[in-house]
A = this chain, B = another copy of it.
Amino acid sequence: MPENKAMQQNDIKAIDGFWRAANYLSVGQIYLLNNPLLREPLAPADIKPRLLGHWGTTPGLNFIYAHMNHQIAARDLDAIYLTGPGHGGPGLVASAWLDGTYSEVYPDVSRDEAGMQRLFKQFSFPGGIPSHVAPETPGSIHEGGELGYVLSHAFGAAFDNPDLVACAVVGDGEAETGPLATSWHSNKFLDPAHDGAVLPILHLNGYKIANPTVLARIPEEELEALLRGYGYQPHFVTGDDPERMHPAMVETLDRVLDEIDAIQQRARHDGDTTRPRWPMIVLRTPKGWTGPEEVDGKPVEGTWRSHQVPMKDVREHAAYLEILESWMKSYRPEELFDEQGQPFDWLTTRTPTGARRLSANPHANGGLLCRPLDLPDFRDYAIPVEAPGQTKAESTRAMGRFLRDVIERSHELRNFRLFGPDETASNRLDDVFAVTDRAWNAETLPTDEHLARGGRVMEILSEHTCQGWLEGYLLTGRHGLFACYEAFIHIIDSMFNQHAKWLDTSQDIPWRAPIPSLNYLLTSHVWRQDHNGFSHQDPGFIDLVVNKKASVVRVYFPPDANCLLSVTDHCLKSRDYINVIVAGKQPQPQYLDMDAAIKHCTAGVSIWEWASSDDGLEPDVVMTCAGDVPTEEVLAATDLLRRHLPELRVRVVNVVDLMKLQPENEHPHGLSDSAFDSIFTLDRPVVFAYHGYPWLIHRLTYRRTNHHNLHVRGYKEEGTTTTPFDMAVKNQIDRYHLVIDVIERVPGLKVRGAHLRQQMEQRLIEHEQYIREHGEDMPEIRDWRWPSLPGNVTSDA
């Protein structure tokens, strides 16, 4: 036998050994409480009373892991492993235990018989670990509990990590999901010169819970066309005989890793800028490979019946117990584990060590690698504000200038990107194009603008892909911001949920280092979707967000550009949160100079004394606003009240940080009851104009003293294609309705304010007539300033 042939045989023996050991440990996790090394014949008491877990996907995951190990060791690769299929936990945990990593981070689960018993027992057991590749699993940045995001996570991880190979196993179930189906196109956004590589491995094991999968049941030439159409070069590895499959996988991985290397060499050293056809692997193996072939006369291996636990009720059926024992023994544990239960050295002689282990790669614990952003001083981007409400500006444009310089300063570390579905310019953030471009690796035309391979603005018309890329980028320790139309951020509701849960769990895992926060800018918001109409009007993402743990979520409504700058700076510095910033892109009045903005944002909620007429006394009414459009309407209403009813003591309160409203025992930002009462009074009417659905404010404040005097206006699904001000009118959050609200609620004002009320009602009629004739808002609305221009409204005073 020639030497290299012999070496390969030895390699394959070690790979197969690792694989058998991982499979053995996976089955053990699903079934066993005790007797982990099968020293005694299996007895019913050795079996868990409640059998949970998913065997079907596991042997394939273990197979890939074992083979990747070999390649990493041979090539000194820097690689991470993303597990797309759901419930792959036992496999990845088994491998991490074999790697030694598991015992390093969980010393109690030692790398010996006692640890093996704990490893088995803890799986899907109260007080133990979940069945997914969860935050608890070393080496994971991707839980896979919800399906569809493995490729976008992998690409997010690979961006700006030129030496990284993100090995992404795509389940053929998850391949049916929309987010996964479009995320294949991420290869048009990857720069082979500055980004790392993603190696997709489509694992066709053929079945979901109870059905075949679509991609496993189309002709291979059709599947190949699909994957070539996605821009990949697929390599097929198909079979069920380990003796043939091991060499096939070694050779295929060799070939695709060589191809990846060649692509990167061409881009990095030969200046080849054509979009490469990246290689990928289609691995077709039986579902539940190496598991029981048949149970109760029905085929199990290679069918959907091995999706979860192949035999249930093993305690009750001696025949099942026998199948289980011979199944586990088929891995020949005596060759794998020594007397102490430690894996024999021969299993791991050709596996990587230290940080090269898939289970210990620091990219999968990205906080470890995180470098803080080199932020410019946000004060330098301040909009000058001589007096409140006299000038107009587009708030997001100021933010765009700040982000431009954030990007410029990140050029060296390459640790910041801006994400969004084709709306960076529309959202007035286009100053960033002075220093960067949109990432684009597909064809270009001479008329194109701001498209480049190395661009740091990520635009694809898939909110799912934007979100997935950003999550992958953050989880590997970099920074970013996702700017999105407010209504359509709901598209990623479920991804938000999963990321919030990941953060929540991670915060309690000592070895997981904090990662940069996920920052959203929600703009083109509900109040300025007058032109796009009803389908574009939905502020409900906030309601979803505040369902999640207070330790994770933050929601901000900066009322103007300087506040937006202050909030953005704060969010970009934070860790382990999800920050939601809601701010409009249209020209709007500016209220606070930078010092005042910083003070206001630091407080989170404050009384705007310059707008108030309570002179530090108990007010007659508290006018409260959260959101830029509500702020303008509250100020305009206050302006009307002050001029028409000058003796009325009005207090104006602005809320930037929504979480301030919650009780302090429910959110760390929550105001104490005394602070809340001192702002909102004990018994005066509070008229609250809120950006979103009004009931959220009640939900946050129902335990507060003065809650029964709280009257909230917000969006109540009254919308259509109309003018901006008419959106406010339709939802009764406009200045005229707010004045009427005050007149109705302040004791004694019904009579004194009757004339003003009539004027307001008249104004509403005039508004309706005007917009129906002219198609735009009345000049007095469009040109409103604080305090209003004289002559707009006749004063009664």
Residues of A within 8 A of B (CB): 33, 48-50, 52, 87, 121, 124-132, 134, 143, 145-148, 173-174, 176-183, 185, 188, 208-214, 217-219, 222-231, 299, 303, 422-426, 438, 440, 442-445, 447-448, 451, 459-465, 487-488, 490-491, 493-494, 497-498, 501, 504-505, 531-536, 538, 540, 543-544, 547-549, 693, 695-696, 698-699, 702, 707, 717, 720-723, 726, 771-772, 774-776
Contacts and interface: CB of A to CB of B under 8 A. Distances in A.
A493 B504 CA distance: 22
Contacts of A211: 422, 438, 440, 451, 459
A534 B130 contact: yes
B501 A490 contact: no
Contact of A425 (B209, B212, B448): B209
B535 A128 contact: no
A426 B209 contact: yes
Contacts of A460: 176, 214
A217 B442 contact: yes
A interface, over-half SS = loop
A501 B490 CA distance: 14
Contact of A497 (B182, B463, B490): B490
A422 B49 contact: no
Given A497-B490, A771-B126, A775-B125, A179 B178 contact: yes
A764 to B, nearest CB: 14
Nearest to A543: B543
Given A444-B217, A533-B131, A698-B698, A182 B188 contact: no
Given A176-B461, A211-B459, A771-B126, A535 B145 contact: yes
By Cβ-Cβ distance, the 8 closest A-B pairs, closest first, are A226-B229, A145-B535, A178-B178, A130-B533, A181-B182, A225-B229, A181-B181, A490-B494
Given A490-B493, A696-B699, 5 more contacts: A126-B723, A126-B775, A188-B214, A217-B444, A695-B699
Oligomer copy total: 2
Given A174-B461, A422-B211, A721-B124, A775 B50 contact: yes
Nearest to A172: B461
A270 B531 CA distance: 53
18 contacts: A126-B723, A127-B722, A127-B772, A134-B533, A146-B488, A180-B182, A210-B422, A210-B424, A210-B425, A212-B444, A217-B444, A225-B226, A225-B228, A226-B228, A493-B494, A501-B534, A505-B534, A695-B699
A774 B50 CA distance: 9
A58 to B, nearest CB: 16
A365 to B, nearest CB: 19
A49 B461 contact: no
Given A493-B494, A547-B540, A776-B50, A212 B448 contact: yes
A440 B721 CA distance: 42
Contact of A544 (B173, B488, B533, B544): B544
Given A124-B721, A726-B126, A533 B702 contact: no
A185 B178 contact: no
B181 A178 contact: yes
Nearest to A128: B721
Contacts of A487: 146, 494, 497
Contacts of A445: 212
Contact of A722 (B126, B422, B447): B126
B126 A504 contact: no
Interface centre among A127, A226, A461, A463 (most CB of B within 10 A): A461
Nearest to A210: B425
Contacts of A227: 229
A702 B213 CA distance: 48
Nearest to A536: B145
Nearest to A774: B49
B176 A178 contact: no
B443 A218 contact: yes
Contacts of A720: 130
A651 to B, nearest CB: 23
Nearest to A226: B229
Contacts of A695: 699
